[in-house]
Homo-oligomer: A and B are copies of this chain.
Amino acid sequence: MVKSRNTEEKILDSARAIFIKRGFDGARMQEIADHAGINKALLHYYFRSKEKLFDAIFSDTFQQLGPSLAALFSSEIPLEVKIWKFVEDYIEVIKKYPQLPSFIINEINVNPERILDHLKFSDFFDYEELKSQLQDEYEKGHIIKVDMEHFVVNILGLTIFPFVGKLIIQKNLKIDEASWEQFIEDRKKVIPVTIMNWLKVNN
Residue ranges of A at the interface with B (Cβ–Cβ < 8 Å) = 21-23, 25-26, 99, 102-106, 108-112, 116, 119-122, 125, 127, 144, 146-147, 149-150, 152-154, 156-162, 164-165, 167-169, 171-173, 175, 183, 186-187, 190, 193-195, 197-200, 202
Once the chains bind, are A190 and B119 in contact (CB under 8 Å)? no
CB contact between A109 and one of B103, B171, B183 (< 8 Å): that residue = B103
Q: A145 → chain B, closest Cβ, in Å?
A: 11
A175: which B residues are within 8 A, CB to CB? 149
Q: How many copies make up the complex?
A: 2
Report the minimal beta-carbon distance from A171 to chain B, rounded to whole angstroms. Answer: 6
The 9 closest A-B pairs by CB, nearest first: A121-B172, A157-B161, A25-B25, A102-B109, A25-B26, A157-B157, A197-B198, A194-B198, A106-B106
